[in-house]
Amino acid sequence: MPRIRVLSDRVANQIAAGEVIERPAAVVKELVENSLDAGATRIEVEFRHGGRSHLRVEDNGCGMSKDDALLSLERHATSKITETADLDALGTFGFRGEALPSIASIAKFELQTRPAGQATGTEVLVNGGKLVHVRECGVAPGTRITVAHLFGAVPARRKFLKSDATESAHIIQTVRLYALACPQTAFTLIEDGRVLFQSPVCATLEERVAEIFGRQFAADLLPVDASEAGLQLGGLIGKPGVSRASRHEMIAFVNRRPVDSRTLNYALIESYATSLPKGRYPVAVLFLGMNPAAVDVNVHPAKREVRFRSEGEVRGFVIRTVLQRLRQSGAPAAAPETMNSESGRRHAPIPPPGIAQPFPWRASQPPSSVAPAPAVQPPRPEVAGRLAAPVAPPIANRDSESDNPTGAPPSAFSVPHGAATPRLPGWRFLGTAHGDFALFESPAGVVVLDRRAAHERVWFERLQAQFARGEIASQRLLFAVPVELDPVGSALLLDRLDFLRRHGLDVAEFGRNFFRIEAIPAWLEPEAADVFLRDVLALARDGRLDERTPRLAEEELARLAAQKAVRLPEATSEADALALAGRLFACAQPHTSPAGRPTHFELSRGELAKRFQR
């Protein structure tokens, strides 16, 4: 019979590390949180090879004495809380005391620290949980922690790490979140010796957003500041019509802590339901302030998930606030069921207990009611003469559903399955329903076709074939389209300039974080080039545009391009509808769109007879 024994501290720390430290970004998160809790006003993060081989986090915080430095490597040693009741009034990011011993147990860990009042500092070196040495050192006031050979003591965990590009993206996203949470702290992020972004101390959240995301991005945001019954909501939200292809730029904080909250995300998406097209997501940097006792941050080891005591109250408050701000900007937003007669009532701000610093959006001025924003700028008109040479007939012909749906030159988009559109014998076009659906009578029954999904499938396979042959039609622009990106997006774009150029999108660097789109694929409108480029970078941030797997990268690019290329006309003729159906069923996979949605369904004659009890 096996005997029960107590695990050694080293094994216990390595087990705990599996919960707290999932990847290099988790190390950066824990160390940056400790720096902020120590009162740092300057934090520098450096990493190499996606954080596997080297990580360094250095700050100018309060530092630690020799005794505290050694004690910090013991499990559950913390200066943040002393009693269980302290969890109801948390004013710090960390509180468990598990991060440092967990990191030190699975890597080569070096801690150098010095309080401002001491002449010398302390250096502690731990390798795989074993203490190597403790000695004096010369170091500036603050703390410097270096982590090398992460997961070296547990190689099985190292095998589960993703590519360097993916791990780097997670680190960049983590640092960016905490830079947004604390504009009063200067941040520097260095990857493989290259400075990705360097932001000084910012007086307001708007300045920090402009530093990280770019001035062009910040100009598309509206300020939000509201209080109601112990809840505060502030930050920035996108103007109506400003959207992204992914949720990466829907950023939420609860009491300055970055969180992933379904409650906040769905409230934000619902608020923009009538302002954005389906499949697009709003842009927001929102800070929710509340009594710490009303939110549980101890739900998950990573502390990214939170649980509210009153989910409905929080959700309703966010929806009411965002809708009110969108209305002030002129958005045609409809009120959901949560709206009531008191939705416009404003209360005096109630600062939640336990928060040591003011909220970022109120860093330099006292709270005030939201000032009406100027009217939404109208969409840009068609830019005449933007292309260096015409690539398509007028828009009326471009949206035709004939063999060449974009009207591009035949050399650019020829029908992939022969010169003539495949025919469907015995099919008869009956009409359209609700604009997007075409109805056909077939020898076997009735077919309902989703025109948009069918177009996307045709375009997807057509673009895939062009990518495979290397025959991508590109058109140079007479007037280049300027684009300003955040430092993260700039780094991703610089690594993919050749890939995009090979696929018809020519982008040139024009300065720090500034670029010019000089050529676009023939199917893309110049006015949509900026949005398309940002959507491509969103795919790169998701790790779905990795050049090391060119076939998968081209498939993702073709899927996005197919969505952008489709522009359905309001009306369709019988010839156009039959031509679309013929091209669809000539595809290799005609039954689903590139996104996996059905393109059509059929009601057989037997099913129709059964429905009418014949």
pLDDT tens column, 161-180 = 887 877 888 898 899 999 99
Asked whether residue 31 carries a pLDDT value surpassing 50, the answer given is yes
Predicted model pTM: 0.68
- pLDDT tens-digit series, residues 459-515: 888 888 888 888 788 889 988 999 988 777 787 888 888 888 888 899 998 887 789
Rounded CA separation 305/192 (Å): 31
Distance, in Å, from the CA atom of 437 to the CA atom of 31, rounded to the nearest integer, reads 54
Average pLDDT, the chain: 80
Instruction: Please report, for residues 297, 344, 531, the alpha-carbon distance to residue 293 in angstroms, rounded to integers and kept in the order given.
Output: 10, 27, 42
pLDDT over 90 (residue 144): yes
DSSP three-state, residue 254: strand
Predicted local distance difference test score (pLDDT) of residue 213: 83
Q: Which residues contact 585 (CB under 8 A, 6 or more apart)?
A: 422, 424
Residues 6+ apart with CB under 8 A from 187: 43, 44, 45, 175, 178, 179, 197, 198, 199
Give the per-residue pLDDT at 252.
94
> Could you tell me how far CA 305 lies from the centroid of its own chain?
17
CB 504 within 8 A of CB 537: no
Q: State the pLDDT at residue 19.
A: 61
Tell me the residue type at 261: S
Question: Is residue 518 scored above 90 in pLDDT?
Answer: yes
428 residue type, one letter:
R
Amino acid 320 reads R
pLDDT over 70 at 381, yes or no? no
Domain 9-199 coded CATH 3.30.565.10: yes
- How does DSSP classify residue 387? B
Instruction: Tell me the C-alpha distance between 463 and 472, whole Å.
Output: 8
DSSP state of 242: -
Residue 213 main-chain phi, psi, to 5 deg:
-100, -15
**Are 314 and 264 within 8 A, CB to CB?**
yes
Where are the chain's structural domains?
9-199, 205-362, 395-602
pLDDT band, residue 599 (cuts 50/70/90): very high
Torsion of CA 243, 247, 249, 251, to 10 degrees: 130
CA distances from 244 to 222, 234, 580 (A): 16, 21, 29
How would residue 378 be classed by pLDDT, with cut points 50, 70 and 90? very low
The pLDDT confidence band at residue 360, using thresholds 50, 70 and 90, is low
Largest CA distance in the chain: 97
Answer positive or negative: Cα dihedral of 414, 417, 418, 424: negative
Which among 186-190, 274-278, 416-420, 595-599 has the top mean pLDDT?
Answer: 186-190
Task: Pick the closest to residue 414 from 466, 467, 476, 474 (CA basis).
Answer: 466
Q: Do domains 9-199 and 205-362 have the same CATH topology?
A: no
pLDDT at 302: 64
pLDDT at 373 over 70: no
Q: What is the pLDDT of residue 541?
A: 79
Q: By percentage, how much of the chain surpasses pLDDT 90? A: 33
The amino acid that residue 76 corresponds to is H
Q: How confident is the model at residue 351 (pLDDT cuts 50, 70, 90)?
A: very low
Q: Where are the alpha helices (DSSP H) in 329-402?
A: 395-398
Are β-strands 250-254 and 284-289 bridged in parallel, bridged antiparallel, or unpaired?
parallel
Structure tokens at 328: 């002030």
Distances (CA, A) of 346 to 79, 289, 399, 408, 610: 38, 15, 48, 55, 59
- As a whole number of angstroms, the distance between CA 140 and CA 116 comes to 8
Nearest to 429 by CA among 293, 266, 216, 577: 577
More confident residue, 315 or 342: 315
Q: Which CATH architecture has domain 395-602?
A: 2-Layer Sandwich (3.30)
Alpha-carbon distance 192 to 195, whole Å? Answer: 8
194 conformational bin, left if phi > 0, alpha if psi -120 to 50, beta if neither: beta
CA–CA gap between residue 558 and residue 542 (Å, rounded): 16
pLDDT in tens, 279-301: 788 999 999 999 988 888 877 66
* pLDDT at residue 362 in the model: 56
What are the angstrom distances between the C-alpha of 302 and each of 16, 81, 175, 306, 339?
12, 18, 15, 10, 34
User: Average pLDDT in the 72-81 region?
Assistant: 79
Buried b (16+ CB within 10 A) or exposed e, 212-228: bbbebbbeebbbbbbbb
Give the pLDDT score at 423: 76
Residue from 257, 256, 216 nearest 238 by CA: 216
Of 3.30.230.10, 3.40.50.720, 3.30.230.80, 1.10.10.10, the CATH number of 205-362 is 3.30.230.10
422-428: long-range contacts, CB 8 A cutoff, minimum separation 24: 422/582, 422/583, 422/585, 422/586, 423/578, 423/582, 424/578, 424/581, 424/582, 424/585, 427/578, 427/581
